[in-house]
Structure formats: structure tokens, C-alpha cells
Amino acid sequence: MAKLDEAFEKFDTYNKQAPEKVNWDGVEYPSEYFYALRLHEWVTKLNPEAGEPLLLASRSQHIGRWEIARSTYPEGRVGYLKWRSDLSKFHAEKATEILDDIGYEESTITRVTEIIRKQKLKTDPDVQTIEDALCIVFLIYQFDDLILKLSEEKMIDILQKTWKKMSEAGQSAALQLSYSDSALSLLKKALGA
């Protein structure tokens, strides 16, 4: 597990360079470092037996995300999807560089990049676990802030798309979360409850 700890340390050091900050419970964190910790936490909650590639992917899923700004792509869905695709490749490349430097085997690195790139979503249990954890992290840490920025119609659309990406286990975990009144109201509308 020494290599795993070294990888986490290198991923965290990289993500601590994020210029955006997140304030949570009175503590300020570099944004991508904070979200990587939360994603890792939820991956281990959803799958206590998570293997090393999934754990590595959980800590490097969005490594260096700030380096490719959304604003450098065209507005609209096509620009958004291109940005997301380029980000996915970038995260996989950054993780590969770090894992290769530490001395991980090529097979492990390949598996980590498959998970980061979310290949075979819905059919690969590790990829689905990371997707479920990403959705839960969004619901806990970003949902309420987004409510203040977007229309109810747009929020319902986002929630419905989020819900579709999750497995039944992920949805069940999401239903156990505590929500603000406004978030709960939107979630009920989105789910037709």
C-alpha cells in the first residue's frame, strides 16, 4: 500500500494548486483537493472492498480540472460535451504520468484510466461506483449553490439526468442524504414523487 499512499500524496499535492476555493464547515480548501477527498470518501462508502485502481481513480478523477477552463470552449451543449471529453482525456493523462512515475504496472494504469474516462458506464461496476459517488458529491456539496444560479426547469433537468446516470444502489444512497427544503422540493419534482 506504500505506492497507493504515495499516489494519493502526489494527486493531493497537484490538486491543492486549484485556484478556486471551497469553504466547508468553516475550513477553506482548494476546490479540486476538497472534491477528490469527498469522492474518495463516497467511493469507499459505496464499495468498502474497492480495489486499488478504483481507489486511485477516485482520488484523481478530476485532477487539474482548473487547467482547462469551460470558458475556452463554445457556449451550448456541443461546446460543453467537447470540454468534458477533453477534460476526461487530460485527467487520464495526468494520472498516468503520476502513476508511471511512481512505478505502477501498465495494467493498473490502464484500468485507472478506464475508470477515469468512465468507459463502459452501466456495465463496469467500478465505473458505475465512481459515477454514483460523483453524483452524490454533487448532491451534497454543489446542488444548493446551483439552485441559486439556475432556473427551476433547468435544475429539474439536471437532476433527472443525474438520476439516470446512477445505479439503484447509488440512488438509494442519494435518497438517504439530508437536503435543504428547496433542494428536497426540486428533487421530488424531478423524480415525480
Mean pLDDT over the full length of the chain: 94
What pLDDT is stored for residue 81 in this prediction?
Answer: 87
The three grid cell numbers given for residue 115, joined into one nine-digit string: 475508470
Q: Quick count: other Cβ atoms within 10 Å of Cβ 152?
A: 13
The beta strand positions in the chain, using DSSP E, are 21-24, 27-30
pLDDT in tens, 37-79: 999 999 999 999 999 999 999 999 999 999 999 999 999 889 9
The three grid cell numbers given for residue 161, joined into one nine-digit string: 439526468
List 24's β-bridge partners, or say none: 27
Low-confidence ranges of the chain (pLDDT < 70): 1, 193
Q: Is 54 helix (H, G, I), strand (E, B) or coil?
A: helix
pTM for the predicted model, two decimal places: 0.92
What pLDDT is stored for residue 193 in this prediction?
Answer: 65
| Residue 132 near residue 142 (C-beta atoms within 8 A) | no
The three grid cell numbers given for residue 86, joined into one nine-digit string: 477533453
Measured between alpha carbons, how far is 49 from 30 in angstroms, rounded to an integer?
28
Measured between alpha carbons, how far is 26 from 155 in angstroms, rounded to an integer?
27
What pLDDT is stored for residue 119 in this prediction?
Answer: 87
What pLDDT is stored for residue 77 in this prediction?
Answer: 85
Instruction: Work out the angle between the directed axes of helices 168-175 and 31-46 (0-180°, nearest 10).
Output: 110
What pLDDT is stored for residue 82 in this prediction?
Answer: 92
What pLDDT is stored for residue 1 in this prediction?
Answer: 60
